[in-house]
Structure formats: structure tokens, C-alpha cells
Amino acid sequence: MNVLELARPELRAMQPYSSARMEAGAGELFLNANESAWAPDGAPDTDIRRYTEPQPPGLLGVLAELYGVRRDQLLIGRGSDEAIDLLVRAFCRAGRDAIAIQPPTFGMYAVCAHVQDAGVIEVPLAADFTLDVDGLLAALTPAVKLVFVCTPNNPSGQPVPRASIERLARALAGRALLVVDEAYVEFVDDASLVSVADLLDRHDNLAVLRTLSKAWALAGARIGCLLANPAVIALLRRIMPPYPLPRPCVALALAALSPVAQALAHERLGIVRAERARMTTALRGVPGVREVLPSQANFLAVRFDDAGAVYRQLLGGGIVVRDIRRYPRLGDALRITLGTPAENDRVLQVLREAKP
Ligand SMILES: Cc1ncc(COP(=O)(O)O)c(C=O)c1O
């Protein structure tokens, strides 16, 4: 079965919008897109008056190399959030189809499903926050078109073994698209053991989400990617707005991915990994800490005797962490993003000064 047969048939048949940029051939004077004839006063980039390429070839090339895929397997969007939304809209018919998720997990999968009026099948992670592959497969109904798996998972922090992803991809062939969210994969001690981008050619029903928001320090630029079968990429491009990527954001991404910037980013990933180990040990020795979940991401989920009091105490010290008590199995936990070594010391200091 062709993976596109899982997508909404009316979208496959739809005539997509054809933008001026897409239709433009060679030329010297472009008067085809109703752009201004002048750049704004003082603009550092005078091309800002022009619409951008829908998928800028320079950035596409750099990201394809970074993720080890072909250009036709890559879609660049406004954060991986946009790719999640596009996938749900492309594969789920309102009121009929569904997605599957494993709580506690990233909230946007369910939000996008609700916006599309798609169902949400919840198969909780096991008590130790590992993925229950058999339970997940047993819970699937024919309505499920997308299965989201987050690795390492937000907010619990554990990666899903490659073998589980491969098993799922095989089991879901012809039934559903498996969407593996690797937003935090760069932080894993051995990322090559976890990323599954290299499996795309073997499974046409596999898709991978990547982002420049975390390891690449560009959350404000909103650049994220979907890696998938070329037919899936082409389908999503048909429903994506015509000019999704702001020119200044593309320039920022290219700068952040220059060889020098990549070397610096790798150094910083090393600092995050070292701080993760240091903070895990240090937090385990703080009074009132019940458990620090083992994490392979740039955050720690920490259980406290009284998470609410600790949240307020950190806030009193000027430190904002994420209250994750609303998530199943994490009713006593806070999620603490790893900061610089000095920032992490400040967290420890405030926690140690706590009055019992
Ligand atoms: C697991 C996961 N996926 C995706 C995202 C969205 O990232 P982006 O900034 O690329 O939209 C986040 C953001 O926190 C996340 O935690």
C-alpha cells in the first residue's frame, strides 16, 4: 500500500495554491508578486521586500546534510509544531480519524488533533516511562492514522530504543504513519543509537521531526523539519502556506549551522550532558527530592515531597521551572531545564536553602 493512501483523499485531489515564486522562471525584472519596488528605509537586507523561496534551497541543502537525508525527504517549517499540525491536517479526517499518543508526553500532538476534530487514543507509558510497544499496538483502531512517539520523551526524558521504533514501523505498515519526534535527540549521550532518520528509506510510513529550537539555540527563529517519504513531503507542501519561512529566520539558521557555529554548538552539547549528570547527582542529595528521573534530554523531571511548595520557593528566588503535576504519573514533579553551570548552581542553592 502506498503511504499516501492513508492521507485524506480530498487533499490528494485538491488543486493547491500556485504562488508567484513557484511560477517564476528566469528573468531580470520581477513584477509578478505585487511586492514593493523599494526596500524599507534602513533595511539591512534589501531583498526583504521580496517574498522568500517556499523552501530556500541553501537551507534545504544544509539541513539535508545535517540530518543525513535527501532534499526530497525534508520539509522545513515554522518549528516542528507546524509539521505536527500539517501531519494531523493531512492524515486525519475531522470527526473520523485519530492519532495515538503515550502520556505523559508533549502536549501539541493532542492539541493539533483536537483542533482538527480528530480522536486521541492514549496508551500511557509504562510505570518506568518506557514505551509499551505491545500495549500500543493492541490499542490501535483502524481510525488511527498517526502514531506519535517522542524520543527522548518530553517531559520524562527517556529515549525509546531504535529496536522498538523499527518494530512499530513494521507493524504499522499500511495502517498508520509513525511520527518519531526527535526534538531532543542531540542531547542523548550517543545520539547515533537513537535517531532513526537513516531508516526512512526502509519504511515509507516513518516520519521524523527535528528542530533547531533546542540544541541549535534558535527557538525564537521558529525553524523545524519533517523528514519523511518524498510523497508525504510533497503532500504537506500542497497544504502549507506559500511563504512559510521569514527571510531573517532563514539567515539566522544558516549562520547557526556554519561549520564554526556547529563546532561551538557541539561543545555546548557536551556542557549540557555534563551538567545533566552533575545536576542529577546533586538533586538526588537535596532534602525533599524523592526522585530525579533519568534523562537524556536538556531537562530533568524531578519528584518532590511537596512540588507545589518547591515551585513557589524557586519562584521566590527568581527561578521559573515547569510545573508538570497535571501529567499522569508525574503528580509530584517539576521539570527543570538545564541552564548554564552558574544557573544550575543557583537552582541548587535555592533548593538547599529551603525551610523544611
Ligand atoms: C517534544 C517536542 N516536540 C516539538 C516541540 C516543538 O518545537 P519547535 O520549537 O520546533 O516547534 C517541542 C517544544 O518544546 C517539544 O518538546
Whether the model pTM is above 0.95: yes
Q: From the CB of 106, is ligand 1 less than 6 Å away?
A: yes
Q: From the CB of 81, is ligand 1 less than 6 Å away?
A: yes
Which pLDDT score, from 0 to 100, does residue 24 have?
76
How far is ligand 1, taken at its centre, from the CA of residue 285, in Å? 31
> Helices marked H in the chain — which ranges?
9-13, 20-23, 57-67, 79-91, 108-115, 133-139, 162-172, 230-239, 247-256, 259-284, 307-316, 341-352
Adjacent-strand bridge partners of 178: 147, 206
Which pLDDT score, from 0 to 100, does residue 191 have?
63
Q: Which atom of ligand 1 is nearest to the CA of 214?
A: 9
Which pLDDT score, from 0 to 100, does residue 192 have?
65
How far is ligand 1, taken at its centre, from the CA of residue 183, in Å? 6
How far is ligand 1, taken at its centre, from the CA of residue 68, in Å? 20
Which pLDDT score, from 0 to 100, does residue 289 have?
97
Closest among 298, 291, 294, 340 to 319, alpha carbons compared: 340
Report the C-alpha gap between 295 and 273 in whole angstroms: 10
How far is ligand 1, taken at its centre, from the CA of residue 221, in Å? 13
Report the C-alpha gap between 262 and 270 in whole angstroms: 13
Segments in the chain below pLDDT 70: 191-193, 355-356
- The SS3 assignment for 276 reads helix
Report the C-alpha gap between 299 and 251 in whole angstroms: 28
How is the beta sheet containing 299-304 ordered, strand by strand? 289-292, 299-304, 333-337, 322-323
Report the C-alpha gap between 231 and 234 in whole angstroms: 5
48 — phi, psi (to 5°)? -60, -20
Which pLDDT score, from 0 to 100, does residue 22 have?
77
Closest among 43, 128, 141, 47 to 92, alpha carbons compared: 141
Which pLDDT score, from 0 to 100, does residue 26 have?
82
Report the C-alpha gap between 281 and 272 in whole angstroms: 14
Which pLDDT score, from 0 to 100, does residue 90 have?
97
Closest among 294, 185, 190, 225 to 55, alpha carbons compared: 225
pLDDT digits 0-9 by tens, 181-214: 999 999 999 866 678 999 999 999 999 999 999 9
Which pLDDT score, from 0 to 100, does residue 1 have?
75
Which pLDDT score, from 0 to 100, does residue 32 have?
92
168 — phi, psi (to 5°)? -65, -45
